[in-house]
Amino acid sequence: MTEKLSDTGRETMLQPLFATGWEMVEDRDAITKTFEFKNFVEAFGFMTRCAMWAEKWDHHPEWFNVYKTVKVTLSTHDVEGLSSLDAKLARKMDQLAE
């Protein structure tokens, strides 16, 4: 079962993500990042690649796409906050955006 991140987990799992541009969401236990691509096709391709991993891990992002921009918010609804699944998906998204 998925559990909410402990203080130690937050430090070890979230700090590296903050270094890559992820930020805490104000008034919510969630992280967010905005990805910019060259055009809509690249943005949509990124979303498609992410969707495959999200489905495989049964952990789906909240996201918003306009043209070449994809804004992602990650939080685990089952625990009402951040879990290791959010950190895992954020790391994968960073890899897929390269």
Per-residue pLDDT in tens (0 to 9) along the chain, 98 residues? 789 999 999 999 999 999 999 999 999 999 999 999 999 999 999 999 999 999 999 999 999 999 999 999 999 999 999 999 999 999 999 999 99
Residue 76 confidence (pLDDT): 97
Alpha helices in 1-98 (DSSP H): 7-18, 40-57, 84-97
Does residue 70 form part of some domain? yes
Q: Which domain holds residue 51?
A: 7-97
**The CATH number of the domain where 55 resides is what?**
3.30.1360.20
Say how far apart CA 53 and CA 23 lie, in whole Å: 21
Instruction: Give me the pLDDT at residue 8, please.
Output: 94
pLDDT at residue 81, as a whole number: 96
Predicted TM-score of the model (pTM) = 0.93
Domains of the chain: total: 1
